[in-house]
Amino acid sequence: WSQQIQTMRVAPYAGGLGWNIGADNSNNHQAFAVANWGGQQCDLAAGYYKAADEQQYSAELSGALITMDGDIYASRTVTDAFALVDTGQKDIPVMVGNKLIGTTDNHGKLLVPDLYSYLENHLSIDPLELPANVTMGSVEQNLMPRRRGGMHVKFPISFAPSAIVSIYSAPNEPIPAGAQLQTADGSQEYLAGWNGEIYVEVLDKPITLYWAEGQCQVTVTPAKDNTQALPKLGPFYCQHPEVAP
């Protein structure tokens, strides 16, 4: 009779560290330790084995290089089919079925290396991780790649350039709640809330607003970074033009 003790942790599929360590009290006094790292670009593994006076060491690196759309992508080993997910935005979670595969890189892309060929694969992105000012066409797609082939899957994501803008009539004097402002052509009207704040749904370029009651105008400029979730801009100060509009 001999006894063995062993502990292990499976590496998360989305990436991370796993290990397997064990030993026994047999005549050879066997012991082993294996560590593996699963990443989006490759898999790494290292191992140690001992039995009696013999010792063995091992190391392994596995992965694949894939060319698509003029770019080269490092990936885990592709055994069947793959897909290149393209969102245009970084750090977007990507799932196959209900399983998290990883997140998009700085270019908004993620290569999914282990899809089933000639079968329906359900790919999706997690919109709960996206800011409130994001608009998108779809969050899930079904695809059926051919064997040893790949597909380019796009989830177009764009940021609505909306903002909360503070407008003041003078230093430390926000325009009153309920004040109505409008654009020069009168096509858009805005109602001020507390602290002179108005909500502008589309602020992709500077706009000039007129406040008839205060007989003044103000030019509002958009945020430099349109990826911010509903930024607060201002204060912008209402100026009295030489000629009333």
Over 50: is that where the pLDDT of 141 sits? yes
pLDDT at position 244 is: 43
All residues at 6 or more sequence positions from 127 whose CB lies less than 8 Å from its CB, including other chains: 134, 136, 139
All residues at 6 or more sequence positions from 65 whose CB lies less than 8 Å from its CB, including other chains: 72, 73, 74, 75
Q: What is the pLDDT of residues 20-68, one digit of tens each?
A: 999 999 888 899 999 999 887 889 999 999 998 899 999 999 999 998 8
pLDDT at position 210 is: 93
pLDDT at position 226 is: 66
Asked if residues 66 and 152 have their Cβ atoms less than 8 Å apart, the reply is no
Mean pLDDT of 163-184: 92
| Alpha carbons 59 and 46: distance in angstroms, whole number | 4
Residue position matching structure tokens 């082939």: 149
Lowest mean pLDDT across 58-62, 131-135, 140-144: 131-135
Instruction: Please return the burial class of 87, using the count of CB atoms within 10 Å of its CB with bins 0-12, 13-18 and 19+.
Output: buried
Over 50: is that where the pLDDT of 19 sits? yes
Q: What is the pLDDT of residues 59-85, one digit of tens each?
A: 999 999 998 878 888 888 888 999 999
Mean pLDDT of 227-237: 84
